[in-house]
Structure 1
């Protein structure tokens, strides 16, 4: 398989994984606004927070290969881009499976009690790890000799295909969060929030909406502005839009991390601290690190 096809396959696989992760990601946010969330034990709420953090880590790891490919590798199909995508996708599976187990625990503890919740959560996690990690490692082979020689330059067609795929990788997380944000404003629990967190939620909603618009724009520009033709100018525009979308997406996610932590802890200080840490971590991982990496190796 040519290296360009291998990279596109890696991106498609990240897209498949993030489509599964977005359901759990949305649950972690939306659950705190449901009527029966107050019936969950205090310990269950803290575990729910842990699940939110784990799903945030998983989503950030799955989005990162798209940004790394554009920032570090300049959109070129290089072995390093494939290795990075493979490593980050593999790393994302652990918080994803544990997050799945936590979601199952919170749900089944509320319905049937703590013992059943522990059994369900442990079972979900074990089954997820067995399939997602166990089967993959059991079938692993040494593929080093099969890696094709890389060409000097990636074709423009492949660059554009990969850039559009990367937009499709990132957008599900934004879609899931935007849907939650819109629905949450119609709940009684949202109306009971302090004004600070209502405004914070609305600001986060606007940021995520902007991110989704930016991620949809390359497809529209390619079709309307360039009639679907491959053009270096379009690749540059699209690449910058995909990278730029990560900033409001990080702001939106972090804003509602603060809202969720306030709903579960009742502490403004803890909530704002959690949101600030999430924002710093996302921007550092998605943008600061790849920019530093590119500058370091370009020197």
Structure 2
């Protein structure tokens, strides 16, 4: 299934995408795409619904973040060997973990706001892993049983805030609008191999990133297991698993986003995003 949230920011409704790409309203069956709705039994119940029996959503509504109530937005740094090489950094012996503020989460096509004082706002297309049930001390072999599904994530980064202003990376990762997710949550049964998905990103129509989850150092199952050793993972938590090469800071000379730019990105089978870049005034 492809589960979606649509409508004005803060008042999104739950839906699913039918075989013709139309949004079907799920409001009579669930209150939102969040919490217990992401559990395996609940997803199986939704999968039994006949999409044709659900109301068609008319018009072209805004698409919201694909999951509501995210408690933790966990990101993995330097998780692609080819991306680590372009940044001049070594592949870490264990995953680099940092948090992105949940207030950064927006819809996949909402405006991307460059924060005040920013000169190095950068792009990163990533595979998002959405937790479906509480995971604590789980094995790698069992880890994907705790996953509800996958989504496209744009891990927007302000590099000067991230690396030049001391402290942790979080301050360069958490600005408002720096976490577009969606357009939909694709349940794991539709993703045969999360470690074999093409991913891409364009700025103003020019391809900047053209990679694959094949080059991830630490795969989705490992990351769920690894993180669960340090903290419990809860339904709705998102793990953003790192980016392939082609980010702005890796170019010579570096290239960063500016007001007026348009960013488009996507992950194979998980849908695409489009953001217009504007100054946050």
Q: What is the TM-score when the length of structure 1 is the normalising length?
A: 0.24
| Structure number having the greater helix percentage | 1
Q: What is the TM-score when the length of structure 2 is the normalising length?
A: 0.25
| Structure number having the greater strand percentage | 2
